[in-house]
């Protein structure tokens, strides 16, 4: 059986571990590979290599660092199909969606190649007589990234290009469910000319994560995953004096106004709720319908959900692949069961689907609930599967209040033709990313990605200008040259007047 190893100091190594995790192909249900679950010693080896590599990398001019990323960008593009195939074989999402994920990650690499411009500080001549002042940004040192299963290429690329471009060494701990893509990223960066020890991959489960959080030489931790783990990462990492950004789970609502373009709204909701089998942090999982649109909305959604083509992600006719693991499949089915027992109307039931030739795969069909209320588990829990909950609100204000009462605040969207409703929604909704007739408003690489409330712990969003800030420390310099000192010592607080 194929074993997936760490990449430490440029070498693929097994390390000290005697523990391994199974990596499944979700379409066939087979555990075709295993991944090493690393130890404290493995992390120590990676940190030692990073410490050794850091001074030279931090001294490398930003332009030269950018050139490495330019080469990495080309290699990622050349190997797009290979990367997508790896994603599909371990995550299950359809190939075209996997390519879309790689493209969104590539865009961060492209943004990071502009690092000489991004690191330009601010300069003020003559803040006092003969005194000039400026700010500059320097790397934090060794940064770690801990990433979820649902975007095995894109989420590591939200972090690593920004960390590397700004002069840090970066240690990635990818999800143990689909760890192979991270190895390919390490190989690509090495081929692009990145020195050994600057980007490394350590595998593992919560033991490795906790070792990262406690390691005294790791200065910053960037995390993406579920809310309970994000809370743990933020609390533990900051208690150890680290800078932490921890992006958590989500329950993204779409507010559907009666004046929306129904056909376009339904298409948008179907893609956003069922794409990638709902395993997206920006998936729409709740549609809040306002007034009389509810009946036609549910009828149109039901018709489309039933026709989604489900199959192996490698099959070009598939629109939706399997869930990631058997455990996750059981959890999603259990939540659909709970929706029925707690009184929601199950309009489309995807629980008992069978895919010919893939009887052991982790497949579930799309499910659609109507008449969902805020006490139900299907509303309160992040299902992270192909399940859309429709709620009915009498008016805009009630719908907005419901959305704002959610503990999550990742993404949200309004569907309307009315500018006033749209503007009022954008202005008042308590979420970090807002779409107007755009179901999944994921910011481009040159903006920053992040939610509010229980969807993000920490002060910085991911990539874009916020990524530069997260991975750098600001230094403010005030300078006066000796020729300017014409008097003796000063004993009062300088005011630069």
Active-site positions read: 281
Site residues for ligand NAD, 436-455, by CB under 6 A, read: 451, 455
229 in contact with ligand NAD (CB under 6 A): yes
Would you say 268 and 439 are in contact if contact means Cβ atoms under 8 Å apart? yes
Query: From the DSSP assignment, how many helices (H) and strands (E) are in the chain?
Result: 16, 23
Tell me how far, at minimum, the Cβ of 52 lies from ligand NAD, in Å: 26
**Closer to ligand NAD by Cβ: residue 175 or 200:** 175
DSSP string, 60-100: S-HHHHHHHHHHHHHHHHHTHHHHHHHHHHHH---HHHHHH
Q: Strand pairing partners for 221?
A: 144, 244
Q: Which residue is nearest to ligand NAD (CB)?
A: 225
Stretch that binds ligand NAD, among 247-255, 266-274, 338-346, 480-488 (CB under 6 A): 247-255
Burial grade of 271 (CB within 10 A; 0-12, 13-18, 19 or more): middle
User: How many C-beta atoms surround the C-beta of residue 156 within 10 A?
Assistant: 28
Q: Please identify which residue in 38, 141, 145, 148 interacts with ligand NAD, judged by CB under 6 A.
A: 148
Q: Please identify which residue in 22, 110, 205, 349 interacts with ligand NAD, judged by CB under 6 A.
A: 205
226 in contact with ligand NAD (CB under 6 A): yes
Tell me how far, at minimum, the Cβ of 89 lies from ligand NAD, in Å: 17
Site residues for ligand NAD, 332-361, by CB under 6 A, read: none
**Closer to ligand NAD by Cβ: residue 249 or 365:** 249
Would you say 246 and 226 are in contact if contact means Cβ atoms under 8 Å apart? no
Q: Please identify which residue in 211, 250, 388, 413 interacts with ligand NAD, judged by CB under 6 A.
A: 250
Q: In angstroms, how far is the first alpha carbon of the chain from the final one?
A: 73
Q: Please identify which residue in 9, 17, 39, 150 interacts with ligand NAD, judged by CB under 6 A.
A: 150
Residue 299: C-alpha distances to residues 294, 302, 304, 305, 483 (Å): 9, 5, 9, 10, 81
* C-alpha torsion 394→398→404→405, nearest 10: -90
Tell me how far, at minimum, the Cβ of 389 lies from ligand NAD, in Å: 16
Tell me how far, at minimum, the Cβ of 154 lies from ligand NAD, in Å: 9
Per-residue tokens: 338 = 């709970």
113 in contact with ligand NAD (CB under 6 A): no
**Closer to ligand NAD by Cβ: residue 226 or 342:** 226
224 in contact with ligand NAD (CB under 6 A): yes
Tell me how far, at minimum, the Cβ of 148 lies from ligand NAD, in Å: 3
Per-residue tokens: 114 = 């502009």
Residue 156: enclosing H or E segment and its boundaries? helix 154-165
Stretch that binds ligand NAD, among 149-157, 164-172, 237-245, 393-401 (CB under 6 A): 149-157
Per-residue tokens: 336 = 């659909």
Tell me how far, at minimum, the Cβ of 418 lies from ligand NAD, in Å: 30
Q: Strand pairing partners for 142?
A: 169
Site residues for ligand NAD, 24-53, by CB under 6 A, read: none
Residue 380 carries which DSSP code? H
Would you say 133 and 124 are in contact if contact means Cβ atoms under 8 Å apart? yes
249 in contact with ligand NAD (CB under 6 A): yes
**Closer to ligand NAD by Cβ: residue 141 or 237:** 237
Would you say 9 and 47 are in contact if contact means Cβ atoms under 8 Å apart? no
Cα–Cα distance for residue pair 476/134, rounded to 1 Å: 6
Would you say 47 and 168 are in contact if contact means Cβ atoms under 8 Å apart? no
225 in contact with ligand NAD (CB under 6 A): yes
Q: Please identify which residue in 17, 89, 276, 410 interacts with ligand NAD, judged by CB under 6 A.
A: 410
Place of tokens 């290429």: 153
- Tell me, by CB under 6 A, how many residues bind ligand NAD: 28
Stretch that binds ligand NAD, among 5-13, 18-26, 243-251, 369-377 (CB under 6 A): 243-251
Residue (of 279, 303, 254, 225) closest to 416 by Cα position? 254
Rg (CA), the chain: 25
Q: Strand pairing partners for 131?
A: 128, 480
- Binding marks (x or -) toward ligand NAD, 367..406, rule CB under 6 A? ---------------x-x----------------------
Stretch that binds ligand NAD, among 11-19, 34-42, 141-149, 347-355 (CB under 6 A): 141-149
Tell me how far, at minimum, the Cβ of 175 lies from ligand NAD, in Å: 5
Instruction: Give me the count of residues in the chain.
Output: 497
**Closer to ligand NAD by Cβ: residue 83 or 209:** 209
Q: Please identify which residue in 43, 98, 159, 281 interacts with ligand NAD, judged by CB under 6 A.
A: 281
247 in contact with ligand NAD (CB under 6 A): yes
**Closer to ligand NAD by Cβ: residue 71 or 240:** 240
Q: Which ranges in 394-444 belong to alpha helices (H)? A: 396-405, 419-428
Residue ranges binding ligand NAD (CB under 6 A): 146-151, 155, 173, 175-176, 205-206, 209, 224-226, 229, 232, 247-250, 281, 382, 384, 410, 451, 455
């Amino acid at each position: 059986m194929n074993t997936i190893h760490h990449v430490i100091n440029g070498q693929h190594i097994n390390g000290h571990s005697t523990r391994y995790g199974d990596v499944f192909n979700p379409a066939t249900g087979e555990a075709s590979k295993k991944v090493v679950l690393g130890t404290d010693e493995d992390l120590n080896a990676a940190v030692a290599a990073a410490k050794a590599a850091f001074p030279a990398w931090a001294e490398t001019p930003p332009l030269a660092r950018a050139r490495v990323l330019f080469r990495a960008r080309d290699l990622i593009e050349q190997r797009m199909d290979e990367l997508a195939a790896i994603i599909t074989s371990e995550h299950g999402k359809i190939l075209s969606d996997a390519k879309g994920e790689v493209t969104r990650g590539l865009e961060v690499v492209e943004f990071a190649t502009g690092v000489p411009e991004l690191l330009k500080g601010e300069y003020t001549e003559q803040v006092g007589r003969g005194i000039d002042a400026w700010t500059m940004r320097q790397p934090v040192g060794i940064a770690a990234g801990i990433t979820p299963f649902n975007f095995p290429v894109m989420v590591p690329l939200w972090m690593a290009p920004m960390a590397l471009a700004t002069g840090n060494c970066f240690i990635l701990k990818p999800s143990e469910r689909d760890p192979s893509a991270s190895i390919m990223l390490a190989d690509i960066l090495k081929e692009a000319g990145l020195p050994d020890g600057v980007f490394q991959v350590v595998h593992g489960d919560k033991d490795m994560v906790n070792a990262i959080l406690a390691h005294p030489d790791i200065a910053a931790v960037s995390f993406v995953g579920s809310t309970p783990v994000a809370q743990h990462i933020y609390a533990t990492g900051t208690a150890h004096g680290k800078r932490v950004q921890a992006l958590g789970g989500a329950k993204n609502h779409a507010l559907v106004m009666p004046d929306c373009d129904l056909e376009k709204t339904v298409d948008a909701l179907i893609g956003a709720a069922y794409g990638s089998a709902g395993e997206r942090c920006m998936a729409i999982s709740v549609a809040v319908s306002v007034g009389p649109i509810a009946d036609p909305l549910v009828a149109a959604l039901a018709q489309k959900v039933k026709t989604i083509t489900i199959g192996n992600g490698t099959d070009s006719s598939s629109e939706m692949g399997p869930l990631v693991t058997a455990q996750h499949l059981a959890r999603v089915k259990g939540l659909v069961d709970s929706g029925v027992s707690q009184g929601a109307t199950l309009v489309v039931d995807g629980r008992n689907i069978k895919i010919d030739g893939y009887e052991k795969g982790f497949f579930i069909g799309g499910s659609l609930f109507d008449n969902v209320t805020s006490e139900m588990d299907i509303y309160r829990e992040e299902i992270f599967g192909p399940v859309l909950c429709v709620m009915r609100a009498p008016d805009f204000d009630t719908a907005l209040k419901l959305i704002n009462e959610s503990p999550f605040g990742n993404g949200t969207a309004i569907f309307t033709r009315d500018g006033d409703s749209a503007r009022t929604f954008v202005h008042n909704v308590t979420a970090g990313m807002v779409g107007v007739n755009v179901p999944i408003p994921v910011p481009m690489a040159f903006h920053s990605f992040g939610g509010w409330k229980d969807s993000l712990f920490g002060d910085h969003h991911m990539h874009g200008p916020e990524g530069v800030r997260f991975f750098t420390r600001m230094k403010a310099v005030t300078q006066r040259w000796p020729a300017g000192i014409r008097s003796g010592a000063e004993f009062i607080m300088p005011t630069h007047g």
